[in-house]
Amino acid sequence: MLTVSDLSHRYVANAPNAEIRFGSFSLDERHALLLRGGSGAGKSTLLHLLGGVLPIQPQSGTAVLAGQSLQSLTRPERDRLRPYTVGWMPQRQFLIASLTVLENVLLPASLAGRADAATRQRASELLQSFAIADFAHVRPHTLSVGQAARASLARALVTQPGLLLADEPTAALDAGSSRLVIEQMARYVERGGAAIIASHDPAIHALWDAVSGGKAALAELELPR
Amino acid sequence: MTFLLIRRFLVERPWQFALAVMLCALGMASAISIVWLQSVLEQHARRQAEGIDIVVGAKGSALQNVLAAVYYLDVPNGNIPLKEVDALRANPQIAKAIPIGIGDSIGGARIVGTSDEFIPFYDATLASGTLAVAPMDAVLGAGVARHTQLKLGDKFVGSHGLGESGDEHEAFAYRVVGILKPTGRVIDETVVTPLESVWRVHEGHSASTEPEATFALIQAKGPVGVATLPRLINARPGLQAAVPALESARLLTSFNWVALVVKVFAGILVLAAMASLLGALLQALARREPDLALLRAMGATRGTLAGLMLGESLVLIAVAAVVAGAMVALAAWSFQRFALPGIVIDAGDGFLYGLAGLAIAALLAALATIPVLRRCLSIDVAAQLSSR
């Protein structure tokens, strides 16, 4: 699914001290990777590189996702990676306030012009299984933080992407909401998906093991500061 | 999805949207109204002089003669013998020579003593009553009838001069025998009576014992006549020929700077409207940067974001254009109803001016959107997605 070799990123060109090194790793279907590291270690940056939001600079290693070298992709090609190859759950819930919860969930498919009946059905099922179906037609401001996080995860999964990128998915969530979110991620991985989760939350690994019952593997990658 | 987002983005803050629309619409409407009004007034001035190739009056200022004889805006230089008008009628180059005698008014409207050619000359027709046949019979123009509230059979006296405060000729009452339909020309604001009425009211006021007229309105048979007749007329003692087209053009030329100022002012208003549009769009963009970054993360291309901002700008300008159109229509109606009732406003012309104004506004709106688009396309998606 994903192979990363000697990947690094410089925010400031020609400044070796501003380089973040991610090393090499790979990720297969039915596997998840938990990115660890302190603030500034580059967890979000790695997600942005793998999701095609940031370009991989020349001589900064390689990343091959679903058989495509990310380095060789143009910006429009990287844009097309999302949302069908890569599903994104951003660090903040980032629901668009002027759309309903269902419209938010359908957003990636709608932007790709593929919000057909099957996708709508899948969106409704996701809302149902994430226990927020009653909020489908209301604006996001009526949701709690935990409900908004679930809606954000439903949006990342509605297109059935091969790789889910989740940036601090349990930040600011209570224990119940964290469990629901991690449970849904584990279900997605069990069904053949792959996920990279960037998180400070020390409870995630134990939570993952508890909800997945060992059916979905979670490895850890500690990024050096 | 793009249309849904544009609609939702626009209505999520209805007061800000309404304010941006109103500022834009006010700028556009003011600019269009100013330029259109200038054109309406110029057209109106030209229309009053239609068919009058030459004005023959007493020696003096040619412009004053034109203003007094065509627009009834000034006092005449003096009178001319009626026999001179009869002599002009005999000239083979002259199609019509209509004598008019002016001096009095009612409610600010000129009482014009003239021949029975005068009413057909202005293409006027009776709305009610009959034409004036006897001295002191009066036919009211449509505007005069409206604002004096005089009806058929009513009697009135004229005041000396053009103002409403002149001495009244109380011994000489006119009787309303007819009322004309509106024409959009100066005759609407005129009381038409036989020339003999004016002689009767002013009997003994003139040093001359011969019948007189104040002016003769001349229609030449062709352009050669228009070119040659003034010299011929000016050669006659006591007569002066003035060509309304030339005098009006001279007058308008001397006011060219006013027209320029008006156009510059209109341009400033349009620019102000576009600045308000730019401000509204930049404010909206600043508010929505996280949403736009999210859209990019969800797979929206930079083109989609550009389409969103452009669409929002176009919807705003389209709504503002409709509001501006309504404002211009209201301004035109008010102008015609309350300011200058005699002016005919050509709706077709207004539509063209409106269309031209809106095309310019739309072009400027597109220009105003460029900096917004540039900023929109340079949003740092990674930074927005990571910001806490």
**CA distance, residue A213 to nearest chain B CA (Å):** 31
**CA distance, residue B10 to nearest chain A CA (Å):** 9
294-313 in chain B: CB under 8 A from chain A: 294-302, 304
Nearest-angstrom CA–CA distance, B377 and B171: 84
pLDDT above 60 for B164: no
| ipTM score of complex | 0.86
Q: Which residues of B touch A99 (CB under 8 A)?
A: 4-5, 8
pLDDT confidence band for B172 (50 / 70 / 90)? confident
171-210 in chain A: CB under 8 A from chain B: none
Q: Are B1 and A110 an interchain contact pair (Cβ–Cβ within 8 Å)?
A: yes
**What pLDDT, in 10s, does the model give residues B346-381?**
666 667 777 777 777 777 777 878 888 888 888 888
| Chain B contact present for A93, CB below 8 A | no
- Among partner residues A84, A92, A99, which is closest to B8 by beta-carbon distance? A99
Higher pLDDT, B196 or A41: B196
Q: What is the mean pLDDT of chain B?
A: 85
Strand ranges for chain B from DSSP E:
54-58, 80-81, 94-106, 109-114, 126-129, 137-140, 155-160, 168-180, 190-194, 212-213, 215-220, 239-242
DSSP letters along B362-388, please? HHHHHHHHHHHHHHHHT--HHHHHH--
**What pLDDT, in 10s, does the model give residues B301-325?**
888 888 888 888 888 888 888 898 8
**CA distance, residue A31 to nearest chain B CA (Å):** 23
pTM, rounded to two decimals: 0.68
**What pLDDT, in 10s, does the model give residues B84-137?**
999 999 999 999 999 999 978 898 889 999 999 999 999 999 999 999 989 999
- In this structure, the number of other CB atoms found within 10 A of the CB of residue A172 comes to 14
Nearest-angstrom CA–CA distance, B235 and B255: 31
Supply the pLDDT for residue A27.
95
- Among partner residues B9, B294, B300, which is closest to A94 by beta-carbon distance? B294
**What pLDDT, in 10s, does the model give residues B59-80?**
999 999 999 999 888 888 889 9
pLDDT above 80 for B209: no
- In which residue ranges of chain A is pLDDT below 70? 14-16, 93, 225
27-46 in chain A: CB under 8 A from chain B: 44-45
- In this structure, the number of other CB atoms found within 10 A of the CB of residue B20 comes to 24
Supply the pLDDT for residue A99.
92
| CB–CB contacts below 8 A, A to B | 80
358-387 in chain B: CB under 8 A from chain A: 381-382, 385-387
- Could you tell me how far CA B366 lies from the centroid of its own chain? 31
- Over residues B144-149, mean pLDDT: 92
- In chain B the first and final C-alpha atoms are separated, in Å, by 27
**CA distance, residue A81 to nearest chain B CA (Å):** 8
Nearest-angstrom CA–CA distance, B174 and B178: 12
- The secondary structure of residue A181, as a DSSP letter, is H
pLDDT above 60 for B166: no
Q: Are A45 and B12 an interchain contact pair (Cβ–Cβ within 8 Å)?
A: no
**CA distance, residue A39 to nearest chain B CA (Å):** 12
Supply the pLDDT for residue B86.
92
Q: Which residues of B touch A84 (CB under 8 A)?
A: 299
Supply the pLDDT for residue B151.
94
**What pLDDT, in 10s, does the model give residues B19-50?**
888 888 888 888 888 878 877 877 878 888 88
**What pLDDT, in 10s, does the model give residues B253-298?**
877 788 788 778 878 887 887 888 888 888 888 888 888 888 988 8
Phi, psi of B219 (to 5 degrees): -115, 120
Supply the pLDDT for residue B388.
47
